[in-house]
């Protein structure tokens, strides 16, 4: 693995290796001293062209707990209008001696450009690009699911296992969601069965070619699929307005048809976990009752996010093919 | 004045014959040609250059109905001189310069300026295209009559880059240009359906998370415009048609007797949206690259005459407008120097279609000249006709090397691709603009000295 | 093995067994019994060696039924290596510390071969992140010399003078199907 650009690039073995490494990293995070020296002397740059305090802090914590130096580079709003800035920024980072770049960008494919244009030679981690991919989110979701649905093994994290046979329902704005794309790719690789549920306006043309089922009816999906995990995607209220695309008539109608309320929560199988990548719109795609229920993994997902990002940074920066180390 | 004796060229890929070019016309053909050429005994003031064309094909000089020369305004991307020189290397003797310059070519003054720059450059005939609406804003008709009556004698009007989407305005434009035998060339793109669009909407855009440009946004405008043209009894031309549905609509319209013509670009004949998977902005173009089924449909449409012409939509951009993230990149590709080779690859060398060199001459010379009402271009290679012709080596192959191209920009989607057929020589008004595949720089000096 | 290479078995299955038994007794002797002891095996091959030593210690103390996991753990030092960038790393192994923790314990690090000493330096760093032992000792099956750091072993199965070009291969039943130490050149 040279870069992490898309969850779709990962083989099953690579994905399981990341999840297993995450498990080791997560174990170190319950220690008194959480810091590991693995990346001492290396510099990780967080290059954020789009605001996301949560994701930036998660990557920053991950890098720092591996003893890397972290430079936060916020370039919000400087990109699409003046596209050359991505190249210039990359050249600047290369000159500053960055060892890895974590990039968040509103333009789909920007991390891919950064990794493949020859502007910079370091590993690139995609921290979310436009409507394309958010691979570390999918990895932390898969890690969370594996811990709850598979379990066993060292630390109860299902080490060495994939998600074969797990049934996952993903609900909401698939069209604009990089989280949905990454999850469909990764969960399919790991052997899970995914059903996307959304109003037809919020599904992309071409979704029928994705390795998953598609439904417009949440109640029927809960009843028919009997999911092991249900993931509610964030829906932006402005998608309703005609300026925002007019994708649905009103928040009320959306939440009646596609929100996870108390009734639907009760209809889920006993063991089904409730997930959300955050930040939540309580009362729109998810009710407070569902978000705060004991089966919600939403807070745990945040904690797992740090461990996943530690694993990814570790494998990209220290990784290589396994060989005998010198004794 | 130099004259040219072209030996044993295969005219339109048919019989081999000699051609003698003198005084700007084809002075003699066949056995008469050699006899007509003065003996090189020093007794004549005319220098005769003899060219062995025994492996070459002769076509009428190519005519491009859709070229962005960028001058005035974006001389960093292309100038009239650099663009027409590239055109000559590509085998063109006439190009139509699109109106989306800065300032926009929406007045007699600007179109005359572009026309003069073309005259001065001396590489090919430049026919300016006039904007349909003031500033391409789609609100008010530009002074179409003044442009038609100017020295540039504009006959093709287009807001290309923008769609004339207001149906009333489009109707008025279609009607108005009838007064001077003009034609409106529509860039068919419904703007609301394509807000923020970056690539063809389909399987690939769904995977890449790039906002889609649906085929229906093109087809809906074409359907509307052929019906409008029928209603008001005008002719209409459709720029860079790119979808299978568009081909069907044009086929239907022609069967119905509507006076519509349509063009396809070389890139839409060979490239698909799969090329965008690497997010390389060199493949960002408007209309976008479509699916393999669309490519098959436009090829079939070109072969059966539904699509009348190939036009390059040559759209040069400086490196900084392509060396960036996909969303930020400019839309467009260069095409003048690769057009003929791409058509040969997609159509002539393609056993699926019955498309010969005569069809190349029809779709890349005669038909575009007719649509643009350029009387001296696209003529048959016969005695007395203007000496606008191109000699092509059909067996040659070459590899596209962007820095080696003559256009001032390097945004070709065909970099490092091996293409068939090479332009060996181009003659415009009897003068060689290209010999041995290279532009004759001396021409420019002469033009400059004569100015 | 490449043709022309010579290899010699320097420790047989019996030799290894005898060496471990001896080391187990030395550990008990030096530390006046097994209370307060924690054995930490360094993966990969230190981990089974530590388990074998632990079993022998419990046997010698007459409490063979006592849970081994309270005496023996593993310590992955990969992330503490100072040559992480130069040597492509192996995948991480679990670190498992006995529930009693390391504070005020006598920690015996267990590894198969002692060579440059860099692994042990990394292990000492790793331990300091996990607690504060009263003392740290080192047991190795083979000491092949060529130290690059001021580190020595407290318990040694066999001192094996080698040249740097030679290779010491430790095979253990748990991982490799049989027990042996082979020197090849
Ligand atoms: Zn256009």
Q: Complex ipTM, two decimals?
A: 0.88
Q: Rounded to an integer, what distance in angstroms lies between the CA atom of residue A193 and that of residue A191?
A: 7
For residues B96 and B105, the answer to whether their CB atoms sit within 8 Å is no
> How many angstroms does the Cα of residue B379 sit away from the middle of ligand 1?
27
Task: Please give the mean pLDDT across all residues of chain A.
Answer: 90
Stretch (H or E) spanning B292: helix B292-303
pLDDT at A153: 66
Q: Rounded to an integer, what distance in angstroms lies between the CA atom of residue B209 and that of residue A7?
A: 14
Residue with tokens 């399919």: A188
Whether B254 and B234 map to the same domain: the answer is: yes
Cβ <8 Å between A131 and B210 = yes
pLDDT at B392: 98
**Span B409-432, average pLDDT:** 97
Whether B254 and B123 map to the same domain: the answer is: yes
pLDDT tops 60 at residue A319: no
| Burial per residue of B5-18, b for 16 or more beta-carbon CB atoms within 10 angstroms, e otherwise | bbbbbbbbbeebbb
What CATH number is attached to the domain comprising B195?
3.20.20.140
B237 annotated as a binding-site residue: no
pLDDT at B51: 96
Residue C174: strand, helix, or coil: helix
Instruction: Provide, rounded to the nearest whole percent, the portion of chain A with pLDDT above 90.
Output: 72
Closest CA to A133 of B279, B197, B273, B200: B279
Cβ <8 Å between B209 and A113 = no
> How many angstroms does the Cα of residue B63 sit away from the middle of ligand 1?
17
Q: Rounded to an integer, what distance in angstroms lies between the CA atom of residue C54 and that of residue C44?
A: 17
Comparing A129-133, B444-448, C47-51, C56-60, which segment has the lowest mean pLDDT?
A: B444-448
Task: Please give the mean pLDDT across all residues of chain B.
Answer: 95
On whether residue B450 sits in a domain, the answer given is: no
On whether residue B34 sits in a domain, the answer given is: yes
CB atoms within 10 A of CB A159: 19
| Burial per residue of B92-111, b for 16 or more beta-carbon CB atoms within 10 angstroms, e otherwise | bbbbbbbbbbeebbbbbebb
Q: How confident is the model at residue A77 (pLDDT cuts 50, 70, 90)?
A: low
Comparing B64-73, B99-108, C58-67, which segment has the lowest mean pLDDT?
A: C58-67
pLDDT at B42: 56
Cβ <8 Å between A322 and C84 = no
- The residue of chain B nearest to residue A178, with distances taken between CA atoms, is B209
Cβ <8 Å between A38 and C115 = no
Q: C86 at the A interface (CB within 8 A)?
A: no
User: What is the distance between the terminal CA atoms of chain C, rounded to a whole angstrom?
Assistant: 10
Residue with tokens 């069809």: B359
Q: How confident is the model at residue A326 (pLDDT cuts 50, 70, 90)?
A: very low
Distance (Å) of CA B412 to CA B71, B284, B364, B416: 19, 11, 20, 10
| Residue B451 buriedness (CB in 10 A; 0-12 / 13-18 / 19+) | exposed
User: Quick one: tokens of B195?
Assistant: 């807000």
Number of independent structural domains in chain B: 2
Q: Where are the alpha helices (DSSP H) in B37-128?
A: 80-89, 108-121
Q: Rounded to an integer, what distance in angstroms lies between the CA atom of residue C99 and that of residue C69?
A: 8
CB atoms within 10 A of CB C115: 21
Out of C76, C96, C129, the one facing A33 most closely (by C-beta) is: C129
Active site residues of B: 313
User: What order of strands is seen across the sheet that includes strand B309-310?
Assistant: B156-157, B183-186, B236-238, B260-264, B309-310
On whether residue B376 sits in a domain, the answer given is: no
On whether residue B49 sits in a domain, the answer given is: yes
Whether B350 and B438 map to the same domain: the answer is: no
Q: Rounded to an integer, what distance in angstroms lies between the CA atom of residue B421 and that of residue B340?
A: 8
Chain A residues inside the 8 Å CB shell of C125: 37
Which residue range forms the structural domain that includes residue B298?
A: 60-371
Give every residue of chain C whose pLDDT is below 50, as ranges: 1-2
pLDDT tops 80 at residue B274: yes
**Span B123-136, average pLDDT:** 98
Q: What is the DSSP letter of A325?
A: P
Handedness of CA B49, B53, B56, B62 (dihedral sign): positive
Whether B25 and B131 map to the same domain: the answer is: no
Comparing A41-55, B94-108, B343-357, B399-413, which segment has the lowest mean pLDDT?
A: A41-55
B160 annotated as a binding-site residue: yes
Whether B287 and B230 map to the same domain: the answer is: yes
**Span B295-324, average pLDDT:** 96
Chain B residues inside the 8 Å CB shell of A205: 201-202, 205-206, 212, 214
> Is the backbone peptide bond immediately before B103 cis, with ω within 30 degrees of 0?
yes
Q: Write out the DSSP string of B193-251.
A: GGTT--EESSHHHHHHT--EE-HHHHHHHHHHHHHHHHHHT--EEE-S---HHHHHHHH
Residue B107: strand, helix, or coil: coil
- The residue of chain B nearest to residue A86, with distances taken between CA atoms, is B324
pLDDT in tens, A236-270: 887 777 777 889 989 999 999 999 999 999 999 99
Whether B150 and B175 map to the same domain: the answer is: yes
pLDDT tops 50 at residue A320: no
Q: Rounded to an integer, what distance in angstroms lies between the CA atom of residue C78 and that of residue A66?
A: 12
pLDDT at B310: 98
Whether B122 and B256 map to the same domain: the answer is: yes
Q: Rounded to an integer, what distance in angstroms lies between the CA atom of residue B22 and that of residue B43?
A: 17
For residues A153 and C96, the answer to whether their CB atoms sit within 8 Å is no
Phi and psi angles of residue C156, each rounded to the nearest 5 degrees, phi first: -130, 125
pLDDT at A278: 87
pLDDT at C80: 85
pLDDT tops 70 at residue B380: yes
pTM metric for this prediction: 0.88
Whether B164 and B39 map to the same domain: the answer is: no
Residue A9: strand, helix, or coil: helix
CB atoms within 10 A of CB B277: 13
A279 annotated as a binding-site residue: yes
Residue A197: strand, helix, or coil: strand
For residues C68 and C76, the answer to whether their CB atoms sit within 8 Å is no
pLDDT tops 90 at residue B28: yes
Q: Rounded to an integer, what distance in angstroms lies between the CA atom of residue C66 and that of residue C61?
A: 10
Whether B252 and B331 map to the same domain: the answer is: yes
- The residue of chain A nearest to residue B194, with distances taken between CA atoms, is A245
On whether residue B404 sits in a domain, the answer given is: no
Residue A25 sits at the vertex; the CA angle it makes with A19 and A30, to the nearest 5 degrees, is 130
What CATH number is attached to the domain comprising B432?
2.30.40.10
For residues A127 and B344, the answer to whether their CB atoms sit within 8 Å is no
**Span A204-233, average pLDDT:** 97
Whether B184 and B166 map to the same domain: the answer is: yes
Q: Rounded to an integer, what distance in angstroms lies between the CA atom of residue B56 and that of residue A278?
A: 67
Residue B320: strand, helix, or coil: helix
Q: C35 at the A interface (CB within 8 A)?
A: no
Q: How confident is the model at residue A12 (pLDDT cuts 50, 70, 90)?
A: very high
> How many angstroms does the Cα of residue B69 sit away from the middle of ligand 1?
13
Cβ <8 Å between C94 and A155 = yes
For residues B190 and B159, the answer to whether their CB atoms sit within 8 Å is no
Phi and psi angles of residue B415, each rounded to the nearest 5 degrees, phi first: -55, 135
pLDDT tops 80 at residue B334: yes
Out of B202, B203, B208, the one facing A108 most closely (by C-beta) is: B208
pLDDT at B449: 39
User: Quick one: tokens of B284?
Assistant: 């960002």
Closest CA to A191 of A322, A71, A37, A16: A16
Cβ <8 Å between C79 and A66 = yes
For residues A295 and A273, the answer to whether their CB atoms sit within 8 Å is yes
- Work out the minimum CA distance from C109 to partner chain A, whole angstroms: 14
On whether residue B403 sits in a domain, the answer given is: no
Which residues between 63 and 82 in chain C have a beta carbon less than 8 angstroms from any beta carbon of chain A? 76, 78-81
Q: Rounded to an integer, what distance in angstroms lies between the CA atom of residue B275 and that of residue B244?
A: 19
Phi and psi angles of residue A74, each rounded to the nearest 5 degrees, phi first: -100, 120
Closest CA to B433 of B422, B421, B446, B420: B446
Chain A residues inside the 8 Å CB shell of C96: 154
The alpha-carbon radius of gyration of chain C (Å, integer) is 16
Chain C residues inside the 8 Å CB shell of A2: none
Whether B69 and B40 map to the same domain: the answer is: no
On whether residue B408 sits in a domain, the answer given is: no
A283 annotated as a binding-site residue: no
Cβ <8 Å between B278 and A83 = no
Q: How confident is the model at residue B40 (pLDDT cuts 50, 70, 90)?
A: low
pLDDT at B155: 98
Strand partners, C114: C143
Q: Between B18 and B448, where is the model more confident?
A: B18
pLDDT tops 80 at residue A152: no
Phi and psi angles of residue B232, each rounded to the nearest 5 degrees, phi first: -100, 0
Domains observed in chain A? 7-133+302-326 (3.40.50.1370), 135-301 (3.40.50.1370)
Instruction: Tell which of B204, B209, B273, B326 to mutate to test the A interface (max A CBs under 10 Å).
Output: B209
Tell me the angle at which helices B215-232 and B244-255 cross, rounded to the nearest 10 degrees.
Answer: 10
Whether B140 and B19 map to the same domain: the answer is: no
Q: Rounded to an integer, what distance in angstroms lies between the CA atom of residue A282 and that of residue A228?
A: 22
On whether residue B407 sits in a domain, the answer given is: no
């Amino acid at each position: 693995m040279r870069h992490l650009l898309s969850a779709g690039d990962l083989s099953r073995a690579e994905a399981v290796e990341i999840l297993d490494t995450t498990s080791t990293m997560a174990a170190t995070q319950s220690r008194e001293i959480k810091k590991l020296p693995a990346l001492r002397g290396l510099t990780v740059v967080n290059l954020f062209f789009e605001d996301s305090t949560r994701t930036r802090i998660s990557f920053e914590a991950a890098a720092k707990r591996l003893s890397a130096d972290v430079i936060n580079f916020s370039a919000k709003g400087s990109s699409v209008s003046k596209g050359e800035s991505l190249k210039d920024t990359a050249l600047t980072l290369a000159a500053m001696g960055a060892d890895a770049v974590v990039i968040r960008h509103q333009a789909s494919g920007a991390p891919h450009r950064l990794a493949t244009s020859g502007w910079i030679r370091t590993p690139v981690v995609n921290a979310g690009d436009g409507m394309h991919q958010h691979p570390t989110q999918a990895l932390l979701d898969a890690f969370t699911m594996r811990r709850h649905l598979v379990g066993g093994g060292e630390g109860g994290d299902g080490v060495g296992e994939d998600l074969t046979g797990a049934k996952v329902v993903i609900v909401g704005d698939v069209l604009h969601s990089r989280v949905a794309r990454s999850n469909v790719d990764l969960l399919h690789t790991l052997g899970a069965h995914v059903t996307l549920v959304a109003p037809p306006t919020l599904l992309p043309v071409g979704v029928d070619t994705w390795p998953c089922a598609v439904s417009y009816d949440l109640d029927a999906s809960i009843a028919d699929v009997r999911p092991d995990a249900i993931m509610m995607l964030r829906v932006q209220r402005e998608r309703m307005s005609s300026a925002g695309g007019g994708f649905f008539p009103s928040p009320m109608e959306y939440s009646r048809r596609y929100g996870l309320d108390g009734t639907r929560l009760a209809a889920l199988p006993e063991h089904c976990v409730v997930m959300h990548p955050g930040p939540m719109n309580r009362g729109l795609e998810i009710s407070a009752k569902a978000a705060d229920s004991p089966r919600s993994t939403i807070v745990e997902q945040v904690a797992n996010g740090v461990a996943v990002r530690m694993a990814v940074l570790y494998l990209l920066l220290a990784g290589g093919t396994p060989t005998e180390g010198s004794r | 004045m130099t004259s040219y004796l072209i030996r044993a060229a295969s005219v339109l890929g048919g019989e081999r014959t000699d051609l003698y070019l003198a005084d700007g016309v084809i002075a003699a053909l066949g056995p008469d040609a050699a006899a007509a050429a003065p003996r090189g005994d020093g007794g004549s003031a005319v220098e005769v250059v003899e060219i062995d064309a025994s492996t070459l094909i002769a076509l009428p000089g190519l005519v491009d109905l859709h070229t962005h020369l960028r001058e005035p305004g974006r001389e960093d991307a292309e100038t009239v001189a650099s663009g027409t020189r590239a055109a000559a290397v590509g085998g063109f003797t006439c190009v139509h310069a699109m109106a989306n310059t800065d300032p926009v070519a929406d007045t007699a003054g600007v179109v005359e300026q572009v026309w003069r720059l073309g005259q001065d450059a001396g590489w090919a005939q430049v026919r300016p295209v006039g904007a349909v609406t003031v500033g391409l804003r789609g609100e008010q008709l530009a002074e179409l009559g003044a442009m038609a009556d100017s020295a540039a004698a504009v006959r093709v009007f287009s807001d290309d880059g923008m769609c004339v989407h207001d149906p009333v305005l489009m109707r008025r434009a279609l009607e108005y240009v009838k007064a001077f035998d003009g034609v409106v060339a529509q860039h068919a793109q419904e703007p609301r359906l394509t807000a923020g669009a970056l690539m063809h909407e389909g399987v690939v855009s769904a995977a890449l998370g790039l906002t889609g440009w649906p085929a229906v946004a093109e087809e809906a405008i074409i359907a509307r415009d052929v019906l409008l043209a029928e209603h008001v009894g005008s002719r209409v031309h459709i720029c860079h048609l790119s979808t299978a549905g568009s081909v069907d609509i044009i086929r239907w319209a022609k069967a119905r007797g509507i006076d519509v013509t349509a063009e396809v670009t070389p890139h839409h004949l060979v490239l698909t949206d799969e090329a965008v998977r690497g997010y390389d902005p060199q493949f960002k173009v408007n209309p976008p690259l479509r699916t393999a089924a669309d490519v098959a449909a436009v090829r079939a449409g070109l072969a059966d005459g539904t699509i009348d012409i190939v036009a390059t939509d040559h759209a040069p951009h400086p490196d900084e407008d392509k060396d960036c993230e996909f969303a930020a990149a400019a839309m467009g590709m260069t095409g003048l120097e690769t057009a003929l080779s791409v058509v040969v690859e997609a159509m002539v060398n393609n056993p699926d279609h019955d498309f010969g060199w005569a069809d190349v001459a029809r779709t890349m010379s005669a038909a575009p000249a007719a649509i643009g009402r350029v009387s001296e271009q696209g003529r048959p290679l016969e005695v007395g006709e203007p000496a606008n012709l191109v000699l092509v080596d059909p067996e040659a192959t070459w590899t596209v090397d962007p820095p080696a191209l003559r256009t001032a920009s390097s945004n070709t989607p065909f970099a490092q691709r091996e293409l068939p057929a090479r332009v060996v020589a181009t003659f415009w008004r009897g003068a060689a603009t290209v010999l041995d595949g290279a532009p004759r720089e001396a021409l420019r000096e002469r033009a400059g000295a004569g100015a | 093995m490449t043709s022309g290479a010579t290899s010699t078995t320097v420790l047989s299955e019996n030799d290894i067994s005898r060496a471990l038994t001896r080391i187990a007794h030395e550990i008990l002797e030096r530390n006046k019994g097994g209370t307060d002891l924690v054995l930490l095996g360094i993966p990969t091959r230190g981990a089974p060696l530590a388990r074998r030593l632990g079993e022998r210690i419990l046997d010698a103390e007459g409490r063979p039924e006592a849970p081994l996991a309270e005496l023996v753990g593993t310590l992955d030092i990969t992330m503490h290596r100072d040559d992480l960038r130069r040597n492509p790393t192996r995948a991480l192994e679990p670190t498992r510390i006995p529930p009693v923790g390391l504070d005020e314990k006598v920690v015996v690090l267990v590894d198969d071969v002692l060579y440059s000493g860099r692994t042990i330096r990394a292990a000492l760093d790793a331990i300091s992140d996990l607690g504060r032992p009263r003392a740290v000792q080192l047991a190795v099956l083979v000491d092949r010399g060529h130290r690059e750091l001021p580190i020595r072993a407290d318990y040694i199965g066999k001192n094996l003078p080698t040249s740097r070009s030679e290779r010491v291969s430790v095979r253990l039943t748990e991982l490799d199907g049989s027990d042996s130490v082979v020197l090849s050149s």
